[in-house]
């Protein structure tokens, strides 16, 4: 099973600042992922031509299943998280991660049926502050909706904004979730044109074995967004 996690920056290039969603589409298409976890996906926003990016992305790849979640309003639209899946999404939840009046953030929680194996998937974009991220992580992992699927195989992906890689311990470790995008020095994803920070991460439970993990470092990926995509190949037990 291949998982791709990617902060697409609304389809706006990290250096040229041009809106070119087709670059994002080409980068993702080359990876042939089974489940795609995206952050900063626009819908009905002027800067991205008022495009319905969730619909355009699903249509471009032909995924049968998709769920979108607004995080932050911009005019009559906004941006948020998107999950695309080749497998049925049988349950979904939107969990607020807003911390002490800061920028509104949410996590997507989905239960996916991957050929009879239930996967509890989290797709999120965490905050900029250390205390904020620690609270958001613990809040999600102790939320009743998350705990409802305790028998499922667990996968957590997204933009963690975790510059110092402190989230690998604490609540994630207590829940027996291990970081497969490690060590951070091999998985630098931000900024895309000269990556120094390993902000995009994937954590899995001990019923998932890592086959391979890599950052997409193509010339196109370096231009398409301000982040590089993270791709993880997993064997689900």
pLDDT at 21: 98
Over residues 194-210, the pLDDT tens digits come to 999 999 999 999 999 99
pLDDT of 237 > 80? The answer is: no
DSSP codes joined into one string, 124-169: EE--SSHHHHHHHHHHHHT-HHHHTTTTSEEEEEEE---TT--TTS
- Strands 230-236 and 2-7 come out as antiparallel
CATH numbers and ranges of domains, the chain: 2-236 (3.60.10.10)
Q: Strand, helix or coil at 28?
A: helix
pLDDT at 82: 98
Over residues 115-171, the pLDDT tens digits come to 999 999 999 999 999 999 999 999 999 999 999 999 999 999 999 999 999 999 999
Over residues 110-123, the pLDDT tens digits come to 999 999 999 999 99
Q: Are 180 and 187 in contact (CB under 8 A)?
A: no
pLDDT band at 103 (very low <50, low <70, confident <90, very high): confident
């Amino acid at each position: 099973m291949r998982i791709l996690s990617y902060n697409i920056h609304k389809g706006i290039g990290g250096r040229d600042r041009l809106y070119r969603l087709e670059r994002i589409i080409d980068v993702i298409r080359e990876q042939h992922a089974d489940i795609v976890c995206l952050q900063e996906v626009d819908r009905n926003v002027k800067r991205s031509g008022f495009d319905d990016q969730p619909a355009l992305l699903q249509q471009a790849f032909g995924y049968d299943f998709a769920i979108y979640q607004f995080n932050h309003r911009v005019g009559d639209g906004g941006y948020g998280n998107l999950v695309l899946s080749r497998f049925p999404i049988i349950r979904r939840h939107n969990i607020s991660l807003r911390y002490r009046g800061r920028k509104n953030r949410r996590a997507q929680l989905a239960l996916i049926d991957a050929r009879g194996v239930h996967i509890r998937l989290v797709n999120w974009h965490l905050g900029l502050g250390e205390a904020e991220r620690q609270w958001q992580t613990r809040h999600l992992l102790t939320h009743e909706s998350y705990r409802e699927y305790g028998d499922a195989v667990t996968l957590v992906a997204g933009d963690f904004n975790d510059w110092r890689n402190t989230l690998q311990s604490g609540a994630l470790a207590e829940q027996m979730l291990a970081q497969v995008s490690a060590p951070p020095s091999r998985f630098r994803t931000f900024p895309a044109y000269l990556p120094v920070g390993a902000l995009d991460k994937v954590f899995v439970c001990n019923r998932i074995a890592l086959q391979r993990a890599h950052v997409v470092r193509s010339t196109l990926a370096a231009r398409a967004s301000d982040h590089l995509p993270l791709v993880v190949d997993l064997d689900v037990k």
